[in-house]
Every structure is written in structure tokens, then in C-alpha cells.
Amino acid sequence: MSQNSGSTRTLFVSPEFTKSWLGIDSNVDDAIITRTLRLAEDKHIKAIAGGTLYYSLIDKISTNTLTGNYKFLMDNFVIPCLMEYFLWEFTYTGSYKFKNIGMTKQTSENSESVPESERNAIRNSIMQNAMAYEDALIRETRVNSANYPEINTIEPDMNAPRAEAYRSSIFIPGTYDRGKWNSEDLYN
């Protein structure tokens, strides 16, 4: 299995597809889209699918042999998940540029910068969407693992597929004192 790596690695989707899917202005530089797509694929999709399935999908795309169950997986689970993680990453990569004076924030005369508190609320919403798609992707590959044998094969130097999507803490009311949990507060 080729790992199709390096700067010329095949992406799951093109910058044009991404702009169309997400309604991003056509004047956004394809290089920024490509970099952020690569980041979202490597950082999120690879961690979810595991290295073996991830590189198998890349190989199938690069050799134009993505069919059947794998095409179904890409169209219905991987791409929607990727688009949400792309958008989550893009809320920062699309706003800032690095110049000889340092990092700058992109602005223009016709637009207004979104306040950080509002941007954070939007990012939180996007992350919830991404985790919902991630959960669906994980469930699809586990329930139908016979369709994706790579999910059960972990090659050396490859990460294992993620087992669960949601990674938030849960608040449990009560107090913890001297090694004992006291939840009496719940019933009073």
C-alpha cells in the first residue's frame, strides 16, 4: 500500500469542491484551501479512520478505483465529516496571514471582523457538527467492518481508528472530599 505522501499527496476533495460545498467565496486563495484541507484530513480524518483505511482511501482516489462501499463511505460519511473539520480549522487559517511584519488579520473595507466571542461560538457549533459526523463515520465503519477490512488491520507505524467521537467532559454535581464522592446535593 502506497502512502501517497508528501506535498503532492492526493486530497480527498478539491479546493473547488470545498468552496462549492461550503459556500466559500471564489476569491479565496486555493493554496489556503489546500493547506487547510490537508490539515483537516491529516489531523482529523486520519485519526478517526486509522492510518490503514485512511491511506487505502487515498490510494483508491489517486488511482480512480474508489467504488462500491468505499465510494458510499466517502460520499456519505468521510466528506461531510471532513467539510466540518475543514470549516473548524478554516475559521483561523482563513483569517490570518503571515507577512514580513509578522502575523496579520485579514480585513477589507467592505467587511467587518467577527468578534472573538462570536467566532468562538460559531467554532463550537461547527465542532458539534463535526463530532456528530465523526460519530456516524465511526459507527458505519464498526457496524459494517466487513465492508472495510482495513478498519481491523493496523499496520506498523499507523494509528488505530478512533473508537468514539465525543470528547467533552461531563459535569457531575456533588463534591469530592478525602477520596469520597458525595452526591447528596442531588437529592436535597
| Tens digits of residue pLDDT in 5-61 | 555 689 999 999 999 999 999 988 999 999 999 999 999 999 999 999 999 999 999
Cα separation, 53 vs 61, in Å, equals 12
What global pTM score does this model have? 0.77
Length of the chain: 188
Q: Mean pLDDT of all residues in the chain?
A: 81
Helix %, strand %, coil % for the chain, to 5?
55, 5, 35
Q: So what's the pLDDT on residue 31?
A: 92
Domains of the chain: which residue ranges? 15-187
Spatial separation of the C-alpha atoms in residues 130 and 149, rounded to whole Å: 24
Vertex 68 angle, CA 63 and 69, to 5°: 105
Distance (Å, whole) CA 163 – CA 3: 23
Q: 56-80, pLDDT tens digit by residue?
A: 999 999 999 999 999 999 999 999 9
Q: What is the pLDDT of residue 15?
A: 96
